[in-house]
Amino acid sequence: MSRPAETTVLSMRSLSIALPPGADRALAVSDLSLDLYRNEILCVVGESGSGKSLLANAIMGLLPNGVRVASGTIDFEGTELTTLPANRYRKLRGARIAMVFQEPMTALNPVLTVREQIDEALVAHGVGNAAERQRRILELLDATGLPDPETLQHAYPFRLSGGQRQRAMIAMALALEPDVLIADEPTTALDVTTQKQILELLREIQQRRRLGVLFITHDFGVVAEIADRVAVMRLGELVEEGPARQVLDHPRHGYTQKLVAAVRGLSDTSGAAREHRSEPVLSILGATKTFVTATGGFFSGKRRRVEALKDVSLDIAQGETLGLVGESGSGKSTLGQAVVQLLELDSGEIRFHGTPIAEMPRKERERVRPKIQIVFQDPFASLNPRHRIRRALTETQVIHGTRRADALAQAERMLDLVGLDQGALDRFPHEFSGGQRQRIGIARALVMEPELIVADEAVSALDVSIQAQILELLADIRDRLHLSMLFITHDLRVAAQVCDRIAVMQRGEIVEHGNAQEVLHAPSHGYTRTLCDSMPGKEWFV
């Protein structure tokens, strides 16, 4: 793509970022040269550990301790960022270059309301008086599509849905009208309809304000939907760069070809479904669950009732994978938690090999519990940050009577299965990438050799090539051990690849249920059709 030099807003030349001693390689980013132009979206893609996020942090001046720019330059409209004093960086950060972080729940302050957090940024940069700032906050919340800004501005982050939190993050990033917006995996954990809305919002804001957007992602569907140009990184090196369609349709580098092939492989669903005529391993009969929460403060007396599950009935045969698909708040995770006995149903029952779990004697229930394992959606939150991976993978085995030596041997086998070496055992969760932590979560579920796994968004945080590997791994283990799976996901391409049957949930109810190919290629319910139509980059996959 040819662009005049005067439209360059951010320029990196021969940039190298050094990792601390003992890391898996010396340089996180090696000799990278790349430009970002005004009024474009540049997608930076690559697997976990490719250096994408550290590149973004270097631009923002937010590199973690022990990581530093070793050489090269980052030029922002004539200002060299790598040597910029801290006080000048603080004035530039947020005002001229802003960032939307990958995990809004951890990036937002849990004890401040949405209004307070945006106002904090405005005050720090000396923007207007209180009345002017208040008007600006409401304008931002309205511009990012948040409902009822007057009310929502007083909400705390935990009161918002995932999509609302991401919109609030975007509002904060735009508060000071920056010239460059860095978006680090901003739609990774969102369901497809919310993802589509966020992508449309970012594109609309980028075009209206003529922003230069550096969009970091591992989702090629997102790239096909939103990118003007694409830069592909591998182990810290820039291996390919060019117009989006050129890179997506005619990749030159072998690594890019591998990534594109892995993604297109997810859309090849031929032969995925299999017939299962055995007795159900798990039966869910009339599952109903209602949550009652306080609104407007603890002492307001107001209560909100949410019917998370409404008379849900499903079964899973031995060796079968049942996909559970739907948007955030549809009840998918609630059903998964009920299956693994993390919450009790209001009514209905869950049967394991025909016996209601709730009616089992205590000893029988303790014997059954290891047979049903879960892979959680958020691997960082589900791993104890103070425990090494050795303990995370052996503790449950030891509690259930396995000798420590045998438990350790099993942990090593499972790490090998999910593509991690034994050195991982002596590291802490924070020392891994998001994708690596998710693989550890899968290994932890597998060490107990369960009969049923509840996989709650188990591959949502993984790169496309690792995602393909994990799906193949789960399919191999399922077939070899006759493992059954309840596979909860918002990614319909993943569901089509791995599931035999699919159940579509909306507002606590199953609205469509059947063979995976029939549900996804010829959906009968309007909601299922909406989900299919919302898949990012859908046309590119055809």
Q: How confident is the model at residue 430 (pLDDT cuts 50, 70, 90)?
A: confident
**How many residues are recorded in the chain?**
542
540 against 415, higher pLDDT? 415
d(CA 222, CA 200): 11
Helix or strand run (H / E) with residue 118: helix 114-124
Residue 472 pLDDT? 80
Any bridge partners for residue 515, and if so which?
501
pLDDT at 2: 45
Residues 6+ apart with CB under 8 A from 283: 314, 315, 350, 351, 354
pLDDT band at 293 (very low <50, low <70, confident <90, very high): low
Residue with tokens 């009732």: 305
Sequence-distant (6+) residues with CB within 8 A of 315 are: 280, 282, 283, 284
Instruction: Yes or no: say if 373 and 450 are a contact pair by the CB < 8 Å rule.
Output: yes
Residue 74: both structure tokens together:
């980052």
Give the β-pairing of 347-352 and 484-489.
unpaired
Mean pLDDT of 138-158: 88
- Using the predicted structure, report yes or no on whether residue 298 has a pLDDT greater than 70: no
Residue 99 to residue 95: CA distance in whole angstroms: 11
Output the CA torsion sign for 492, 434, 374, 443.
Answer: positive
Q: Using 50, 70 and 90 to split pLDDT, how confident is the model at 191? A: confident
Provide the residue type at 75 as one letter: D
Tens-place pLDDT, residues 514-537: 998 888 888 999 999 888 888 777
The strand pairing partners of 89, in sequence order, are none
Helix, strand or coil for residue 486? strand
Q: Is the per-residue pLDDT at 406 higher than 60?
A: yes
- Return the pLDDT at 525: 92
When comparing pLDDT for 412 and 438, which is higher? 412
DSSP alpha helix (H) spans, 317-361? 332-339
At residue 285, the pLDDT reads 96
DSSP-based three-state secondary structure for 28? strand
Q: Which residues contact 244 (CB under 8 A, 6 or more apart)?
A: 43, 223, 224, 227, 228, 229, 230
pLDDT score recorded for residue 73:
97
The confidence band for 271, taking pLDDT boundaries of 50, 70 and 90, is: very low
**What's the pLDDT score for residue 276?**
57
State the pLDDT at residue 301: 58
Provide the pLDDT confidence category of residue 218 given band limits of 50, 70 and 90.
confident
Q: To 5 degrees, how large is the angle CA 511–CA 542–CA 257?
A: 125
Phi, psi of 104 (to 5 degrees): -60, -30
Between 469 and 127, name the one with better pLDDT: 127
The yes-or-no verdict on residue 5 having pLDDT over 50 is no
Question: CB neighbours (10 Å) of residue 126?
Answer: 8
pLDDT confidence tier of residue 4, bands split at 50, 70 and 90: very low
Q: Give the C-alpha separation, 276 to 279, whole Å.
A: 9
pLDDT tops 70 at residue 386: yes
- What's the mean pLDDT in 365-393? 88
**Which pLDDT value is given to residue 531?**
87
Per-residue three-class SS string for 145-180: CCCCHHHHCCCCHHHCCHHHHHHHHHHHHHCCCCCE
For 540, residues 6+ apart whose C-beta sits below 8 A from its C-beta are 220, 221, 224, 248
pLDDT in the model for residue 1 = 44
- Among the ranges given (187-191, 278-282, 428-432), the one the predictor scored with the smallest mean pLDDT: 187-191
Ordered alpha helix ranges (H), 447-534: 464-481, 492-498, 516-521, 526-533
Tell me the whole-structure pTM to 2 decimals: 0.74
Q: Which two tokens mark 288? A: 């109903």
DSSP labels, 182-243: EEESTTTTS-HHHHHHHHHHHHHHHHHHT-EEEEEES-HHHHHHH-SEEEEEETTEEEEEEE
Q: Which of 185-189, 194-198, 301-305 has the lowest mean pLDDT?
A: 301-305
The stretches of 307-403 forming alpha helices (DSSP H) are 332-339, 362-368, 379-382, 389-399
Pick the closest to residue 352 from 486, 242, 238 (CA basis): 486
pLDDT per residue over 439-498, tens digit each?
A: 898 899 989 989 999 998 877 767 677 777 778 877 887 887 788 999 998 777 788 888
The overall average pLDDT reported for the chain is 87
Residue 161: closest CA among 302, 333, 288, 322 = 333
**512 has a pLDDT exceeding 70:** yes
Mean pLDDT value of segment 224-236: 94
Q: Please state, in angstroms and rounded to a whole number, the distance separating the CA atoms of residues 356 and 149.
A: 46
